[in-house]
A and B are shown apart, each in its own frame.
Chain A
């Protein structure tokens, strides 16, 4: 089905002695036509009220690497095209904003909208904007209103995008809300898949994208009541916690740095659904509880308001 991959195309250009100079002048459409036999999925990645931690976490993907994600077909025959992503894209200003407009026009119903960060809605959305139209800043909420209805699907990367998260924590100064709540208010019916976590694990993002490429959008049987894929968020941290034995043996940490079950220090593992304890983080190097930090519940829809206090001292004193 595929003729030439993006990487092969660029390698071929190099071998043919076509250097950077010519590459610069070849029209975008020719490059695209050469890849026409591959099914392309343009991705528009909007950063709203966020800290960029989700982006930085996703680029920690190892198999596939982020290089593979940018240049290769992560599933044979399917090419992701990261058309708009503010952390990596070359263009700035109006030149960058035009990519949003053009993809919206050319790929109606076929692009995937990725949302990172919560949507600021207070006072008409003045607390967050992206670019201008006719000299007026365009609120982030308006960008979502424009782009979401024509997307094939919306992936909410991180707890802020999914449920409001830390951006919407009390007293929620900028009136932030998660995408699902915003869609309900605005009557937008584009399918949503939530990939919560503060930040989410790169495998959760790549896995959700792979599911869409291979099997289509996750069905009702694939997700839980909070719109998360059961594959990653099916059981609690506690169920397979590496410190579970301590609880069974009644060994409870009483102060930071103690060995033992972290429940009495405020661990949210018993109700937080995610596979951190089995998957581990940063290429399997470690994870929160592995380093002695209690789970703070960052994949839970109630995070952070419903998870505080995040760390407690059972006796009021750490000694």
Chain B
């Protein structure tokens, strides 16, 4: 007997933003999945006509979880448009502010947003109601992880404090500007940053990494589910040098692609966005610097406000797995290879499992340690008393690009300036790559691919779907948007 049910999860909770996921489940296996946001904000049109100096503050408001990544990508777009590079102090402070929020975001994602998929919480709201699933950790470990869930709330807060030492406040920082930053690295700030970071590194080494490994050991099947596309893409992050062309910079996390397990280079000119299945007027594959975003609710065959970014027309996944593997396989970072091997050997899995549900959590923990350890060294690179911001003026006509990584993956900002004002602004954020709908040639996006073939024990309590979705750490306010996902009805429709 064949049973087909269509299950729609709306809203997906414990993510940033508004996302729905619709699956067609046949005989307990997902045959088809469609993902889309449920909110459209239209920031690109809001920024038009503004002074270029406004965009760093506007771009941060894409997302309250990863505003510093948007601030840095946006500042970089302005740097390149203005023909300047940040000062050394500016480079270091941007890295430290971004790194601190990176820690904040990954702790928030693992403990606050994801742990409850594996650990049943106390029997009180907001921990109930919940999907009843195959929670299978031993009781003692369960209780320990809930203690760490509580502890992580305060550690995440401390990571925000760490960022605020040099960013002014979090979320939505004040100190990042074209040419660098507005804040001086004084001895008191440097020292408090050092010791606050030490406390967080202790938590990462002795709680976060061990907790991810503990869950991974018990839920080993999580290494076989949620397998995304084999193409991985990252723009790299954390500038270690300051060439005017951002693609030429030496970075802590490497820029590049992974295609069938091989490290390849990356050319930003090959990125396009496609909107055949998105609620925008059709334009064919278009480079983001030339894109015009015109909403078109009610468009036939569209089911998402999220666009479909592609590289050479192919589907790519972005995020921690892409970063860890590209950095390790680029040959540029023996340290990343070492920490990755160390963690993988503890769980006794091979590197390719990082493309799975639990692999993404492992990759996130690995790179958190990697970045936090590097930050310790960066603090000593300050040039006390030297400028924090390069000189600049606003050109009449210019274009610029910022390529960086948000905690969730590759982040690109593109700006055009005419008559001294913003004439066009586009951002392609990580979740646009990962939660993209089908493209012009019908290829499903990464999350959609990762859900296909997933075994779902009970369609009324599809915890397995949540685990895969959460492994991508969707950030939909950044990405944006769906309206109505009515496709062809098959079997019964069930909204869970």
Contact = CB atoms under 8 A, between A and B. Distances in A.
A304 B150 CA distance: 36
B123 to A, nearest CB: 5
A92 B122 contact: no
Nearest to A45: B126
Contacts of B142: 20
A31 B295 contact: no
Interface in A260-319: 281-283, 285-294, 296, 298, 304, 308-313, 316-319
Contacts of B112: 87-88
Given A65-B153, A281-B164, A90 B392 contact: no
A152 interface: no
Nearest to A309: B51
A252 interface: no
A190 interface: no
Contacts of B41: 49, 127, 167, 173-174
A66 B124 contact: no
Given A19-B139, A50-B477, A132-B10, A126 B297 contact: yes
Contacts of A132: 8, 10, 495
A60 B167 CA distance: 16
B143 A83 contact: no
Interface in B318-335: none
A292 B295 contact: no
A281 B139 contact: no
Contacts of A172: 46
B24 interface: no
Interface of B is mostly: loop
Contacts, number: 318
A127 B132 CA distance: 32
A131 B11 contact: yes
Contacts of A288: 168-169, 174
B193 to A, nearest CB: 10
Nearest to B122: A10
Interface string A7-30: 000100010000111011010100
Interface string A32-62: 0000000000000001011111111101101
Interface stretch (A94-102, A213-221, A222-230): A94-102
B393 A317 contact: yes
Interface string B468-484: 00000000010001011
Contact of B61 (A55, A198, A318): A198
Interface stretch (B179-187, B246-254, B264-272): B179-187
Contact of A90 (B58, B127, B168): B127
Interface string B24-66: 0000000000000011111001100011011001100111110
Interface residues of B, number: 96
Contacts of A57: 64, 170-171
B125 A23 contact: no
B121 A90 contact: yes
Instruction: From A51, A66, A130, A131, name the one whose CB has the most chain B CB atoms within 10 angstroms.
Output: A51
Nearest to A62: B157
A257 interface: yes
B477 A82 contact: no
B417 interface: no
Contacts of A53: 61, 63-65, 67, 171-172
**Residue of A23, A59, A285 contacting most chain B CB atoms (<10 Å):** A285
A128 B113 CA distance: 22
A189 B363 CA distance: 50
Contacts of B150: 67
Contacts of A187: none
Contact of A130 (B11, B14, B165, B171): B11
B168 A293 contact: yes
Contact of A169 (B9, B46, B387, B388): B46
A90 B389 contact: no
Given A67-B150, A89-B14, A173-B46, A285 B64 contact: no
A206 interface: no
Given A83-B125, A291-B167, A173 B42 contact: yes
B355 interface: no
B410 to A, nearest CB: 20
A104 interface: no
Given A89-B14, A317-B393, A281 B169 contact: yes
A98 B53 CA distance: 45
A304 B295 contact: no
Interface string B144-179: 000000100110110011011111111111110111
Contact of A285 (B50, B51, B165, B295): B165
A286 B165 contact: yes
Contacts of A127: 39-41, 297, 481, 483
Nearest to B168: A291
B207 to A, nearest CB: 16
B120 interface: yes
B12 interface: yes
Contacts of B61: 51, 53, 166, 198
Contact of A83 (B122, B126, B154, B486): B126
A171 interface: yes
B391 A317 contact: yes
A308 B171 CA distance: 20
Given A169-B46, A255-B389, A257-B388, A93 B11 contact: yes
A88 B112 CA distance: 6
Nearest to B140: A19
A236 interface: no
Contact of A292 (B14, B54, B67, B183): B183
Given A90-B116, A128-B18, A310-B54, A135 B486 contact: yes
Nearest to B104: A56
Contacts of B297: 123, 126-127
Contacts of A298: 172
B166 A283 contact: no
Contacts of A129: 10, 18, 38-39, 483
B65 A93 contact: no
Nearest to B462: A93
Contact of A52 (B12, B57, B63): B63
A75 to B, nearest CB: 18
Nearest to B50: A308
A293 B182 contact: yes
Interface string B367-402: 000000000000000000001110111100000000
B440 interface: no
A171 B64 contact: no
17 contacts: A10-B123, A50-B477, A52-B64, A56-B171, A90-B13, A96-B129, A128-B18, A132-B10, A135-B493, A136-B484, A173-B45, A173-B46, A282-B169, A290-B168, A292-B182, A313-B53, A318-B389
Given A28-B128, A66-B153, A123-B297, 5 more contacts: A51-B16, A91-B130, A127-B483, A291-B183, A309-B54
Interface of B: 8-14, 16-18, 38-42, 45-46, 50-51, 53-54, 57-58, 61-65, 67, 108, 112-113, 116, 120-132, 135, 139, 142-143, 150, 153-154, 156-157, 160-161, 163-175, 177-184, 295, 297, 387-389, 391-394, 466, 477, 481, 483-484, 486, 493, 495-496
The 7 closest A-B pairs by CB, nearest first: A53-B64, A293-B174, A173-B42, A292-B182, A291-B168, A288-B174, A90-B130
